Amino acid sequence: MSQLPILPLLPLLFGAVLAVLAGLWRPVAAQVVAVAATGLALVFSVAGLLAVVPDGRITYEMGGWPPPIGIEYVLDPLSAFMVTIVALIGLLICIYPVDAAFDLSPPKGAPLYPLALLLLTGLTGVMLSGDLFHLFVMLEIYAIATYGLVSLGGDRGAFAALRYLLLGTVGSGLYLLGVGFLYFSTGTLNMADMAATLPAISDNPAVLGAMGLIVIGLALKMALFPLHIWLPDAHSFSPPGVAALLAAVQVKAAAYALVRILYDVLGPAYLDTGGLPVSDALVWFGLAGVIVGSVLAIRQIDIKRMLAYSTVAQLGYIGVGIGLATPLALIGALLHVLNHALMKSGLFLVAGGIIQRTHLKEIPRFAGLGKRMPWTMAGFALAALSMVGIPPLAGFWSKFYLVWGAVEVGNWVVAVVIALSSLLTLVYFLRLFEQIFVREPQEAVVDEATEPSGRVVATVWVLGIAIVLVGLFTATLVGEVIAPIADRMLG
């Protein structure tokens, strides 16, 4: 099965082309193609994950050109773990009904599913690529698909997409410059080859410059505070299904690239003694992002905007976990990538369901929704409680590992801030809980509202059950999959 590294990508790529053709015939056919493509991608990525866990590595040479000349696709536990998350969330978004995912009536003939599949293709490519320049191309493929998807959110969406395009391209330009420095220092673009060459030239200032450029570029793509300014607009003005995709998996691709390049290509040696305080910067900016994102989320009226600022805060946790550079903290960061994908896409899908039935976006007008949409809101409660970090739900465990990792290296500030930030998260979800579950319906639209369509409830519940299962079986997941990754990267 040496084709496994390329297999998750192919159905998505060809599905994108097929979905264009199918959409010309019948809009619903495009969705069927998208579900089939993402379902196939999920099957292949799970097969890939099972094949490489706990310590395997399968490579695939594109076009038969052996590395370092050719482009290499690498499936190892980290990339298989990430690709599985992408395929799972992608499948659920494609099953989610089109009127809720892309607002009530998307512009006629808009290529919704081709763009969504292209986005997933780019993300999968980033995660599987073993070549730094190929990673850049995939970064731009998913970015271009994202600009198109964000612009589906009407006038504001188009403006947010343009602003995101300007900043996103600056970010990938910085990454490309960094890759240029690395190429001219080592003469190779292949990650494994470069990792073997770099320790010999560890005093080369060009490599340090490259590290700085790549970290800043990817932090911009990942929306790490203070480079998050494009995220709230792009995530809150895009349609709910798009916002779920972006928050759950799109920003994680850059986080993955950061982990891969910092730990696998450059190696821990650069992180500790390289002369650039990259890991400290990630920790402190991540912490600042946690606080600022949570405080701004408390102030928001619009539910999607609140979730977008909450994403800024949650990405801060991932930044902290990457920066602490201990196995426990990295386990926390990777676990949070999974947990945040499940929780935040669930919350955005609930928001999409509310908008589908009531057209309401403002939290103060949600009063009494819990009595009209009990199933959807039960799923919402699961995801929200997990965000706050109530054990034994999944969200508790990633924070637990982060705090444990921080205590292990004696960084008490991180431990205290992460623990206290749960309170901030509680504050902004308590407002929602009060409106939804405690108050009586006040608005006529709420009073007449019914449960959203069956597929909305089903997808929300799949995510809710996944949150519970991940929470209950965290020990197995960490022991079998995530701990070996962290040990290999930092061992």
Partner 1 sequence: MIELLEGRYVYLLVLVLLAIGLYGVLVKTNLVKKVIGLTIYSTAIYLFFIEGSVVEGGTAPVILDGNSDPSLYVDPVPHLLILTAIVVGVGVVGVALALLVRLYRIHGTFDESVIAERLSGREPGPVDPDDPDAVARGEHA
Interface contacts to partner 1, rule CB under 8 A: 103-107, 133, 136-137, 140, 143-144, 147-148, 151, 154-156, 158-159, 161-162, 165-167, 169-170, 173, 176-177, 180, 183-184, 189, 359
Between 124 and 188, name the residue whose CB sits nearer to partner 1: 188
Q: Who contacts 76 (Cβ-Cβ below 8 Å, separation ≥6)?
A: 52, 56, 57, 58, 485
| Least distance (Å) between residue 54 CB and partner 1 | 35
Between 41 and 139, name the residue whose CB sits nearer to partner 1: 139
Q: Who contacts 491 (Cβ-Cβ below 8 Å, separation ≥6)?
A: 327
What is the C-alpha end-to-end distance of the chain, expressed in Å? Answer: 28
Q: Who contacts 93 (Cβ-Cβ below 8 Å, separation ≥6)?
A: 101, 116, 241, 244, 245, 345, 349, 459
Between 134 and 336, name the residue whose CB sits nearer to partner 1: 134
| C-alpha–C-alpha distance, residues 195 and 288, integer Å | 31
| Least distance (Å) between residue 151 CB and partner 1 | 6
| Least distance (Å) between residue 214 CB and partner 1 | 13
Between 45 and 186, name the residue whose CB sits nearer to partner 1: 186
| Least distance (Å) between residue 225 CB and partner 1 | 18
C-alpha separations of 200 from 168, 172, 186, 261, 266 in Å: 33, 27, 10, 17, 11
Between 41 and 351, name the residue whose CB sits nearer to partner 1: 351
| Least distance (Å) between residue 184 CB and partner 1 | 5
| C-alpha–C-alpha distance, residues 463 and 378, integer Å | 12
Between 124 and 146, name the residue whose CB sits nearer to partner 1: 146
| C-alpha–C-alpha distance, residues 260 and 489, integer Å | 9
Residue 100, token pair as written in the block: 């809720």
| Least distance (Å) between residue 123 CB and partner 1 | 16
| Least distance (Å) between residue 69 CB and partner 1 | 9
| Least distance (Å) between residue 140 CB and partner 1 | 5
Peptide bond into 68 cis (omega under 30): yes
**482: amino acid identity, one letter:** I
Between 122 and 405, name the residue whose CB sits nearer to partner 1: 122
Between 107 and 454, name the residue whose CB sits nearer to partner 1: 107
| C-alpha–C-alpha distance, residues 332 and 366, integer Å | 34
Nearest to 250 by CA among 164, 159, 356: 164
| Least distance (Å) between residue 460 CB and partner 1 | 22
- Are 67 and 130 spatial neighbours (Cβ–Cβ below 8 Å)? yes
Between 108 and 410, name the residue whose CB sits nearer to partner 1: 108
- Are 171 and 218 spatial neighbours (Cβ–Cβ below 8 Å)? yes
